[in-house]
Structure 1
Amino acid sequence: MTEFTKRTTSPFRFDIVGSFLRPQQLKAARAKYQAGQLSRHELTKVEDSVIIDLIKKEEAAGLHAVTDGEFRRSWWHLDFIWGLHGIDQAAAKAGYGFHDETTRAETAKVSGKVSGEHHPFVNHFKFTRDHVSAGTQVKQTIPSPAQAFFEFLRPENILTVKEHYPSFDDFAADLVAAYRQVVADLYAAGCRTLQLDDCTWSTYADFAQHPEHIQTAGFDVQQLEKLERQSVELNNAVIDDQPADLVINTHDCRGNYHSTWAATGGYGPVADPLFTKEDVTAFYLEYDSDRAGGFEPLAAVPDDKYVVLGLVTSKNGQLEDRQAIIKRIHEAAQFHPLDKLCLSPQCGFASTEEGNVLTEDQQWAKIALIKDIANEVWG
């Protein structure tokens, strides 16, 4: 019988990406808050209550590392970016374009020198930390530095950077310093598992396989290689020289908004430099549909790094065929060692507060299936 390494730190064989469907109680409270019918303090009390309930459900499901479900956020990425000093919430000219929907039109603008002191996510982490059972780890998810930088490449946002910085290199340097400040504060608060959520790579892979999308997005082919190099450099500038006991992983998917998607194409075009040069412990990767391509690019992942296979979709409530998932895990093991593989949903269940189109019962059934399969494959 094959002996597999026992996982005591993230990633775990049975894992999650981060976000969960918002309970109706929270949605109603947020709507009242936005309408001026509820105070910030009253909304926070509701958030606290539903997060405590979620933590209990995560622990009951057997998860070793839990999150707050991203219940205090509207977006998986923008709320973090808005929490940095020198960056403000702003209306966008248009929402993000998905396959058959367009999101709310929100973005961020630079309003001064960027820094990371007293980020609200640090207190969010502390709350979750204080409500888990002994032995349960807390995973903090934030957008990658590359993802935050990419937000300011939107045409209307470029101007706000130029108003406050002589060059994008200077802006990038302050952004990295701000991130390192937040990471240091999270670490001081007890965070030992950090996940950098990053959709830039799926965008670049899409561009490489669909050149017509590059011009639509306002870029050119020559920029693509520079953007990929820049993304690795930005992420590694935050990852490198962190404490040895801080595990930093990354998640990459092709967009997740109200059960639809934004990009398509396999990881092949970005395997180098993403898999070969980014200094993370594990890659959480979307693999729930043909849009993700084959497992061949996993051969580029160094053997000392983990791959968390997102084979179970979070986009609908239909439960996957157990044996089909097990078969796909072993297919992936032809390109990366089985002992270095884990299993999770392909993304969160609610990357934005709208959430995906499935029920909470279906959400937890997916998680139970992942646990059951992981126990069979890895013991």
Structure 2
Amino acid sequence: MSNLYAPFRYDYVGSFLRPAELKKACADYEAGAITADQLKAVEDQCITELVAKQKAAGYHVITDGEFRRATWHLDFMWGFDGVGHKKTNTGLPFHGEAAMIDDTFVTGRIGLSGEHPFVDHFRYVKALEDEKTIAKQTIPAPAQTLAQFWMPFARKHTEAFYSSAKPLMDDIAQAYIAVLHQLYDAGCRNVQFDDCTWGMLADKNGQEMHAATKEGLLAVQNAYKDINNQVINGAPEGMNITTHVCRGNYHSTYASSGPYDSVADVLFGEENVSAYYLEFDDERSGGFAPLAKIGSGQKVVLGLITTKQPQLENKEAVIARIHEAAKYIPLDRLYLSPQCGFASCEIGNKLTEEEQWAKLALVKEIAEEVWG
């Protein structure tokens, strides 16, 4: 049993660009040209090759690149009872392009009646661990699932089964806790909650998106923090839970903007994760001052290398930014990664696989120079 825990000085969020053969297999499966077993065989091979590349790049964490998913979050929700989905007609409004991901909604009380599909996905990666690596499982944060079903645009479906947010929160939390115990029994010790809710709350249009007053928006922050903590508190002892705070990542576009200042007291001061993977790749994320709110002992992974553009960052400029962040949180509690995944959705971001690996090589080079 590996006793390594994320984050590492050089790290990454989790998703990778899908290789051409995997994209073709997914399209063939959708068209009915191949079976589910044939698709899985291609997924298995592509994941095995990906993990070999992750190891060759010198990284200590391995993932399946989210190769078995259409999106970073919805496929996980589809594994619960009481959740349905269909092809979208409109998509979600990102800046510059609509994110054409499935409409996903409540069809009954949310629960988990069997093993969640992601548990078997994890087993495959777990078997590829060695003495230098650990398998990390990425899943949407409980708050993300709550937002999916209780934000104003979705509530009309949900209210047929839930009269208020509290029973919905409890059902989501219990389903998540069950998944975490299943993952633990499968050997998982590192789970990452991916969470776009805080980016939406920090956005200048956050009140409008949530149909809330300023005071009401603070109540939403507390609800998101509470459900995340409820699940973390119910996790098996010895399971390490981190979180990635995102502002949207679809085909190199984004969904929200805004510094961490307005959410720092609740997110950084009260959420019980061991580490935060935070976006800081451009001005949309604001400055480092809110990092002073991070709790004692918690770690911060600085997402200073963008996955949205292929150009490599200037190494000296990134190092200077790391030392700027160290004015607010000690350097020994800081780590480095790309700001997000390379393919949060199947379409992927606008860079090549070669450019993807060049980004990760730069992350490692900088981290070794800063921390030795």
TM range, smaller chain: over 0.9
Question: 1:3 maps to which residue?
Answer: none
How far apart in 1 are the matches of 2:36 and 2:59? Answer: 31
Seen in structure 2, the aligned counterparts of structure 1 residues 86 and 241 have a Cα distance that, compared at 3 Å, is closer
Unaligned runs of 5+ in 1: 1-6
- Higher mean C-alpha displacement, 308-317 vs 111-120: 111-120
Q: How far apart are residue 369 of structure 1 and its match? A: 0.8
Question: 2:334 maps to which residue?
Answer: 341
Question: 1:159 maps to which residue?
Answer: 156
Indicate the SS of the match to 2:360: helix
Q: How far apart are residue 155 of structure 1 and its match? A: 4.3
Indicate the SS of the match to 1:164: coil
2:198 is equivalent to residue 201 of structure 1: yes
2:358 is equivalent to residue 361 of structure 1: no
- The aligned amino acid for 2:356 is Q
Seen in structure 2, the aligned counterparts of structure 1 residues 216 and 119 have a Cα distance that, compared at 3 Å, is closer
Candidates 268, 284, 293, aligned match of 1:291? 284
Question: 1:102 maps to which residue?
Answer: 98
Q: TM-score, normalised by structure 1?
A: 0.94
- The aligned amino acid for 1:179 is Y
CA contact (8 A) 1:33 1:43 kept: yes
Unaligned runs of 5+ in 2: none
- The aligned amino acid for 1:263 is S
How far apart in 2 are the matches of 1:72 and 1:14? Answer: 25
Candidates 218, 229, 245, aligned match of 1:252? 245
Q: TM-score, normalised by structure 2?
A: 0.96
Indicate the SS of the match to 2:160: helix
How far apart in 2 are the matches of 1:154 and 1:242? Answer: 26
Q: How many residues align?
A: 369
Q: 1:268-311: CA deviations, max 9, x gaps? A: 00001000000000000000001111000001112311000000
Question: 1:61 maps to which residue?
Answer: 57
Q: How far apart are residue 173 of structure 1 and its match? A: 0.6
Correspondence 1:286-325 to 2 at 5 A:
286-325=279-318
Correspondence 1:41-80 to 2 at 5 A:
41-80=37-76
Indicate the SS of the match to 2:86: strand
Question: 1:82 maps to which residue?
Answer: 78
2:182 is equivalent to residue 185 of structure 1: yes
- Higher mean C-alpha displacement, 65-74 vs 160-169: 160-169
CA contact (8 A) 1:93 1:105 kept: no
How far apart in 1 are the matches of 2:257 and 2:154? Answer: 25
How far apart in 2 are the matches of 1:194 and 1:353? Answer: 21
How far apart in 2 are the matches of 1:240 and 1:85? Answer: 23
CA contact (8 A) 2:4 2:133 kept: no
Q: How far apart are residue 8 of structure 1 and its match? A: 4.3
Q: How far apart are residue 222 of structure 1 and its match? A: 4.0
How far apart in 2 are the matches of 1:255 and 1:346? Answer: 11
Question: 2:168 maps to which residue?
Answer: 171
Seen in structure 2, the aligned counterparts of structure 1 residues 341 and 197 have a Cα distance that, compared at 3 Å, is same
- The aligned amino acid for 2:121 is H
Q: How far apart are residue 242 of structure 1 and its match? A: 2.8
Same amino acid, percent of matched pairs? 48
CA contact (8 A) 1:257 1:355 kept: yes
How far apart in 2 are the matches of 1:72 and 1:275? Answer: 32
Candidates 106, 126, 131, aligned match of 1:129? 126
Question: 2:9 maps to which residue?
Answer: 13
Indicate the SS of the match to 2:348: coil
CA contact (8 A) 1:145 1:176 kept: yes
Candidates 225, 236, 243, aligned match of 1:243? 236
Indicate the SS of the match to 1:152: helix
Indicate the SS of the match to 2:301: strand
